[in-house]
């Protein structure tokens, strides 16, 4: 098993408190290079940074290996520990950054420094009298307002995305563990953008822009009518009188002409000020081709959302639409931050770790941002500090799997390939990552399966397949219903039921009863 104990990029966590409601008038241009971290500008903010140590709620943790610190966190932690050190609870001077870090700091140096802090903190956390609580209080940066999520959290999601955009923290993935909630977020954001764009299209600024566009079209039309004919050599037209262009010269001159922004202006397309889309990532023709291929399978609002750089992705959506959303996101068109919107019983420590790992793209970002939105601060801290479950084997060793393995061995006459395949399957470590006891459980289940199959007359005393083995093997995905069906076949019930199948007057009732039996078994 391959285990990576560190990430390529660090993660910085925030709890978001929506600001006061303001009328949206369009996105502003981000005129600076984005600096990693949503709190890089300092000052007051609606995002409350959460230090990984300050969010440790349960002190009964067996280890602090799940607590990951970025270099800035380590430095702040050193200052907090150093401020609360005393004779009874002194600290190792090797934690001092002047002693722990070389002149030229590498990622590996910070990881070793982080591990030293984990050892020191674990000792203090297990000692009731140690100043661990004081260190946590020193690192806290919270707000009473952040403890109570806004009631209209769906509407405030747009405010969060607007904030992320202004800090160059897009693209972003908003995780919500409810399908209806995912679609509600999308429709609400689209409603805000549509309403703001509609107001703008009624303004004098837009009317002036349309007038300028119309004037440009008229000017271009006049120029095309008054432009003199250009004789190009090789066209097969008039003879060359010394004034003809070479085709390469003509193309070079056309390419050197300045392109007007009006050439790509479409008054009916979504306005950039009211769209999250990044048009530099994909051409308009490519996007229209994608949307055209989905028109017959996806509702129009979802296609309109794609034009504005928004997509929804869950198992209930059309497969082709989901693939289109994935492709557009990879291109960066769907304008990487991870947001957890609204609490859910499915938002566990494991799901949090898997989802938050999508922030900070390997090879692109040195820092990823994780934002909790509409989740109480204590709940968010519990999620961040909860211990990950142990990794255990989840390979489904079922009775039907053992049955099919015996079928493979019999059909191939115990060939070398079949024997090796069975041995490889039953000895893989993913079956019993829990240790020797789990390995023994696998062997116990194997013995139970063989005994059960013998009792059901599917295997002989010498493990030779019997009777309905092929039928049960083909319906392996319906276990345990297939074994109930086999019992009815073995005991002759279905034979008695179908004995009068040739009688025309009995066929209707017979088929109805047979269908009822099968529905009870497989539905």
The string of DSSP codes covering 33-56 is PPPSSTTTT-SS-SEEEE-TTTT-
Q: Which of 278, 279, 316, 320 is nearest to 303 (CA)?
A: 320
**253-270: average pLDDT:** 78
Give the total residue count for the chain.
Answer: 523
Q: Residue 450 is inside which H or E element, if any?
A: helix 436-455
**DSSP-derived 3-state class of residue 512:** helix
Token pair of 397, please?
């060793």
Residue 291 has what pLDDT?
A: 95
Residues 403 and 453: their CA atoms lie apart, in Å, by 8
Residues 364 and 361: their CA atoms lie apart, in Å, by 5
| Model confidence pLDDT, tens digit, residues 188-223 | 999 999 999 999 999 999 999 999 999 988 888 887
Residues 371 and 182: their CA atoms lie apart, in Å, by 17
Burial, 314: exposed, middle or buried (Cβ in 10 Å; 0-12, 13-18, 19+)?
A: middle
**DSSP-derived 3-state class of residue 301:** helix
Taking the model in full, what pTM does it have? 0.73
| Model confidence pLDDT, tens digit, residues 107-166 | 899 999 999 999 999 999 999 899 999 999 999 875 544 444 556 889 899 999 998 888
Evaluate whether 232 touches 247 at the Cβ level (below 8 Å): yes
Residues 131 and 88: their CA atoms lie apart, in Å, by 10
Q: How far is CA 75 from CA 14, 70, 139, 385, 430, in A?
A: 18, 9, 11, 20, 39
Q: Indicate the range of 46-55, 262-271, 432-441 predicted with least confidence.
A: 432-441
Dihedral of CA atoms 217, 220, 222, 223 in degrees, nearest 10, equals: 180
Strand pairing class (47-50; 10-16): antiparallel
| Model confidence pLDDT, tens digit, residues 504-520 | 888 888 889 989 988 98
| Model confidence pLDDT, tens digit, residues 356-369 | 988 887 777 788 89
Which residues pair with residue 10 across a beta bridge? Answer: 367
| Model confidence pLDDT, tens digit, residues 327-339 | 998 887 555 689 9
Angle between the 300-307 and 179-201 helix axes, to the nearest 10 degrees? 60
Q: Which residues, other chains included, contact 229 with Cβ-Cβ below 8 Å and sequence gap of 6+?
A: none
Evaluate whether 110 touches 68 at the Cβ level (below 8 Å): no
Half-sphere exposure of 290 (CA within 13 A, CB side): 22
Half-sphere exposure of 68 (CA within 13 A, CB side): 19
Burial, 255: exposed, middle or buried (Cβ in 10 Å; 0-12, 13-18, 19+)?
A: exposed
Residues 300 and 291: their CA atoms lie apart, in Å, by 10
Q: What are phi and psi for residue 13, nearest 5 degrees?
A: -105, 145
Residues 285 and 194: their CA atoms lie apart, in Å, by 23
**DSSP-derived 3-state class of residue 107:** helix
């Amino acid at each position: 098993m391959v285990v990576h104990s560190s990430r390529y990029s660090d993660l910085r966590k925030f709890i978001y408190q929506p600001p006061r409601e303001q009328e949206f008038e369009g996105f502003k241009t981000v005129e600076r290079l984005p600096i990693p971290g949503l709190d890089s500008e300092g000052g007051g903010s609606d995002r409350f940074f959460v230090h990984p140590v300050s969010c440790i709620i349960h002190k009964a943790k067996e280890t602090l290996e799940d607590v990951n610190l970025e270099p800035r966190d380590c430095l702040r932690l050193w200052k907090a520990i150093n401020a609360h050190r005393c004779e009874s609870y002194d600290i190792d001077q090797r934690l001092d950054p002047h002693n722990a870090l070389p002149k030229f700091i590498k990622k590996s140096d910070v990881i070793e420094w982080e591990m030293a802090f984990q050892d020191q903190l674990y000792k203090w956390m297990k000692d009731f009298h140690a100043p661990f609580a004081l260190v946590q209080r020193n690192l806290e940066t919270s707000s009473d307002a952040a403890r109570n999520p806004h009631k209209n959290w769906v509407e405030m999601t747009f405010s969060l995305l607007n904030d992320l955009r202004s800090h160059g923290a897009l693209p972003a993935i908003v995780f919500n563990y409810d399908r209806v909630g995912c679609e509600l977020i999308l429709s609400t954001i689209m409603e805000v953008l549509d309403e703001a764009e509609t107001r703008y299209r009624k303004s004098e600024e837009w009317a002036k822009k349309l007038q300028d566009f119309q004037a440009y079209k008229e000017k271009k039309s006049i120029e095309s009518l008054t432009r003199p004919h250009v004789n190009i050599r090789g066209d097969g037209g008039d003879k060359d009188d010394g004034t003809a262009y070479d085709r390469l010269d003509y193309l070079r001159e056309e390419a050197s002409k300045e392109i007007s922004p009006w050439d790509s202006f479409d008054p009916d397309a979504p306005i950039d000020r009211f769209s999250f889309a990044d048009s530099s990532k994909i051409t308009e023709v490519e996007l229209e081709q994608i949307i055209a291929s989905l028109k017959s399978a996806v509702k129009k609002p979802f296609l309109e959302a794609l034009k504005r750089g928004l997509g929804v992705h869950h198992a209930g959506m059309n497969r082709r639409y989901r693939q289109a959303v994935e492709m557009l996101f990879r291109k960066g068109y769907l304008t990487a931050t991870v947001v957890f919107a609204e609490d859910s019983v499915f938002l566990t420590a494991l799901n949090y770790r898997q989802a938050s790992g999508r922030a900070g793209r390997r090879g692109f970002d040195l820092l990823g941002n994780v934002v909790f939105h509409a989740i109480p601060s204590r709940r968010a801290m519990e999620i961040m500090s909860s211990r990950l479950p142990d990794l255990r084997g989840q390979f489904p060793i079922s009775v039907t799997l053992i049955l099919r393995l015996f079928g493979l061995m019999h059909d191939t006459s115990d060939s070398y390939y079949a024997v090796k395949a069975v041995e490889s399957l039953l000895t893989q470590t993913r079956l019993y990552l829990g240790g020797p006891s789990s390995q023994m459980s696998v062997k116990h289940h194997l013995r139970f399966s063989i005994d059960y199959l013998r009792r059901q007359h599917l295997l002989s005393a010498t493990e030779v397949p019997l009777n309905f083995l092929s039928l049960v093997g083909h319906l392996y995905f319906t276990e345990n219903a297939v074994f109930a069906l086999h019992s009815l076949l073995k005991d002759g019930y279905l034979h008695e039921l179908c004995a009068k199948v040739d009688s025309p007057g009995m066929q209707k009732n017979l088929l109805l009863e047979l269908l009822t039996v099968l529905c009870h078994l497989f539905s």
